[in-house]
Homo-oligomer: A and B are copies of this chain.
Amino acid sequence: MLKTSDEKYLRAIYSVSHSENKQKVSLSDLAYYLDLKPPTVLERLHVLQKEKFISYTKTEGVVLTKSGEKEALNVIRKHRVWETFLHKVCKFGWNEVHEMAEQLQNVNSEKLIDRIYTLSGEPKFDPHGDPIPDKSGKLPVSVRRPLLNSIEGCRCLVLGVNEDSAEFLNYLTDLNIGLNEKLSVEKVFGYDGSLKIKYKNSESVILSPKVAEKILVTCTKHGCACK
């Protein structure tokens, strides 16, 4: 049985290695992500390596082994299933579920996860639009891109976000932007990359590039020139 702390590290390694423009997970990246100091993390990496969940060299950084990746996907599954359950069954907002799921994901009971997943209606994506791995670790695919990469006139659908923090999600909620919202990009400001978007047939706001980068969308006009 995996320790809570192993799960935390494996999930972190997976997340960091799959985040934008990161082809190498360095010790310091990981320490920063986990909000721990490098010596603490290094110590743990040695253990995880002995347990054959990762391989680590200072030049290559941290790489998950097959078994490490399997475990990481399992924690991610637990996390996302809990988030889904909290949202669908317990009716919490998408901005409230992450913190609770963070604690709940450590509960050890395959049977419980199965049960709450069933009660949630077995969706393929969590309340933030992130794919829920199946038991074998397979992820449903969804083609998404940051809203930031839009060209003027593009129409698109919000499929997810790149950040789970309550602050960010609260901001979107304040703007009345949620999952499955249809947006049209009215203007792209070349100066800093801000976007003016219109939605709900009425509202229109200007989003900073920092925000637009974290909203994941798919174009709805086919053959759209966005990348």
Q: Interface residues, chain A, CB within 8 Å of chain B?
A: 86, 89-92, 96, 99-100, 103-104, 106-109, 111-112, 115-116, 119
| 11 cross-chain CB contacts under 8 A | A86-B112, A90-B112, A90-B119, A91-B115, A92-B115, A96-B111, A99-B109, A100-B109, A100-B112, A103-B106, A103-B109
Chain B residues with CB under 8 A of A104: 104, 107
Interface-centre pick from A92, A112, A116, A119 (highest chain B CB count, 10 A): A112
- Considering the chains assembled together, what is the distance between the CA atoms of A30 and B59 in angstroms? 51
Chain B residue with Cβ nearest A118: B90
Chain B residues with CB under 8 A of A89: 89, 119
- Considering the chains assembled together, what is the distance between the CA atoms of A107 and B112 in angstroms? 15
Chain B residues with CB under 8 A of A115: 90-92
Q: Are B103 and A108 in contact (CB under 8 A)?
A: yes
- Considering the chains assembled together, what is the distance between the CA atoms of A109 and B119 in angstroms? 21
CB distance from A215 to the nearest CB of B (A): 27
Q: Are A103 and B92 in contact (CB under 8 A)?
A: no
Q: Name 12 extra pairs, CB < 8 A, besides A90-B116, A90-B119, A100-B107.
A: A86-B112, A89-B89, A90-B115, A92-B115, A99-B109, A100-B109, A100-B112, A103-B106, A103-B107, A103-B108, A104-B104, A104-B107
Chain B residues with CB under 8 A of A109: 99-100, 103
Chain B residue with Cβ nearest A96: B111
- Considering the chains assembled together, what is the distance between the CA atoms of A104 and B100 in angstroms? 11
- Considering the chains assembled together, what is the distance between the CA atoms of A119 and B85 in angstroms? 13
Chain B residues with CB under 8 A of A116: 90
Chain B residues with CB under 8 A of A100: 107, 109, 112
10 closest A-B pairs by beta carbon, nearest first, are: A103-B107, A90-B115, A100-B109, A100-B112, A104-B107, A90-B116, A103-B108, A90-B119, A100-B107, A92-B115
Chain B residues with CB under 8 A of A99: 109
